[in-house]
Amino acid sequence: MAPDDLPLSGIKVVEFTHMVMGPSIGVILADLGAEVVKIEPIGGDQTRRLLGSGAGYFPMFNRNKSSICLDLKAPEGLAAARALAVQADVLIENFRPGTLARLGLSREALATENPGLVYCSAKGFLGGPYEKRTALDEVTQMMGGLAYMTGPPGRPLRAGSSVIDITGGMFGVIGILAALQKRHRTGAGGDVKCSLYETTAFLVGQHMAQMAVTGKAAQPMPVRVSAWAIYDVFDTKMEGEQLFVGVVSDGQWVTFCQAFGLDALGANPDYAVNNQRVLAREVILPQVRALFGAMERAELVATLERIGLPFAPITRPDELFDDPHLNAGGLVDVTLADGTATKLPTLPLELDGERMQAGRDIPRIGEDTDRLLERAGYSGSDIARLRAAAIVA
């Protein structure tokens, strides 16, 4: 899809963000065609230099963006940031509450020059008693019930991805798109606020509803009573090659038993209905585990794919680089800071049958500073002077 054909082509976004939640908002908008300008401190966003599990944050969530480095503690650096903000359709920020307001970059401060600005703040909490608290993805997973549901009893466990940061960012994008649609009608911009804690609550809402419906608190996923008799991870003949299989309807049960020669189970009228099978899991599952444990995973996969049942090999994230389905359009080429070429997941969307691609690589620190300042009205001599004073880079 050509850049001008992307749905958000022509939308200008200025991003004051770091870590994951704010940048995830920006990368979604950028992949959809918006021009996203990332304002970084002199020397670049500290997220670029994280180690361990944070080493992938910057490359994953900052492609398709421009980079400008400004010293916001210097009046002239702040003036340059303001000049970019008053030209923008959308501003994104995810710093502590009040940080941008103290710099004179609140929506109210910008609205006199840019009344159509949509101002998105990504925070730990929406309005309420916790509003001023500092939050992280893991903090809200713990206090919002997700870690309790993920780990075994007594061992709360965060999900294996920054799922709340990313999902919270997605809600931020939804809010931005809604505010832009409202602006089409009214001409006025507005405030959008998304949060980690309320996002966590939304994700565990199904378990809250379970309590309301049944009168019993939901149990952590490792010990839950499954809604289906076969909905488990199974060992196969080769050690370490595991497979998830789900049989979620009475018709699938018949197909499953026929395909794997489980004639006695399939013919037993006591197991004909799903809820009967759930009550008989202790009888059914040992037979299925014994069968699968004697078979190669590839053989099981071939049969399950042929008969159309839900299944999934247990896969590490690094193995996805070689996944044939993702390599058919689900990965985009990017270049890391050290020059390494790799591929990372694109947006999980098709628009008019096409995937979103990376029109711009991951930006180098401040690589667009001169171009963006010139567009904001700065002369070459002005930029040289500010660069010499380490106010821009």
Find the mean pLDDT for residues 6-25: 97
For residues 26 and 62, is the Cβ–Cβ distance under 8 A?
yes
Average pLDDT value for the chain: 97
- DSSP letters spanning 281-341: HHHHHHHHHHHHHTS-HHHHHHHHHHHT--EEE---GGGGGG-TTGGGTTEEEEE-TTS-E
Cα separation, 391 vs 381, whole angstroms: 14
| Phi, psi angle pair for 115, to nearest 5° | -70, -15
pLDDT for 3 equals 82
Calculate what percentage of the chain has a pLDDT beyond 90: 96
**Pairing relation of β-strands 190-195 and 118-123?**
parallel
Find the mean pLDDT for residues 363-387: 97
Cα separation, 217 vs 215, whole angstroms: 7
Helical axes 205-214 vs 196-203, angle rounded to 10°: 40
Calculate what percentage of the chain has a pLDDT beyond 70: 100
For tokens 């076969």, the residue is: 230
Cβ–Cβ contacts within 10 Å for residue 77, how many? 23
pLDDT for 366 equals 98
Starting at the edge strand found earlier in the chain, the sheet holding 230-235 runs 230-235, 242-247, 311-313
- Domains of the chain plus CATH, in order, are 3-203+324-388 (3.40.50.10540), 226-317 (3.30.1540.10)
Stretch among 5-9, 180-184, 358-362 having the lowest mean pLDDT = 358-362
Residue 212 has pLDDT above 90, yes or no: yes
Confidence of residue 35 (pLDDT cuts 50, 70, 90): very high
Nearest to 62 by CA among 96, 91, 12, 28: 28
For residues 142 and 164, is the Cβ–Cβ distance under 8 A?
no
Find the mean pLDDT for residues 31-35: 97
Cα separation, 56 vs 28, whole angstroms: 17
Per-residue pLDDT reduced to its tens digit, 143-197: 999 999 999 999 999 999 999 999 999 999 999 999 999 999 999 999 999 999 9
pLDDT for 197 equals 98
Secondary structure class of 277 (helix, strand, coil): helix
Residue 76 has pLDDT above 90, yes or no: yes
Residue 108 has pLDDT above 90, yes or no: yes
Confidence of residue 4 (pLDDT cuts 50, 70, 90): confident
Find the mean pLDDT for residues 324-341: 96
312 token code pair: 């999934």
Find the mean pLDDT for residues 342-351: 96
For residues 15 and 26, is the Cβ–Cβ distance under 8 A?
yes
pLDDT for 67 equals 98
Secondary structure class of 276 (helix, strand, coil): helix
pLDDT for 221 equals 94
For residue 51, give Cα distances in angstroms to 47, 54, 91, 306: 9, 5, 28, 43
- Whether the CA torsion 121, 126, 130, 135 is positive or negative: it is negative
> CA angle 21-25-31, nearest 5°?
135
pLDDT for 335 equals 97
Find the mean pLDDT for residues 226-248: 96
pLDDT for 309 equals 97
pLDDT for 265 equals 96
pLDDT for 168 equals 98
Confidence of residue 1 (pLDDT cuts 50, 70, 90): confident
Q: Which residue type occupies 340?
A: T
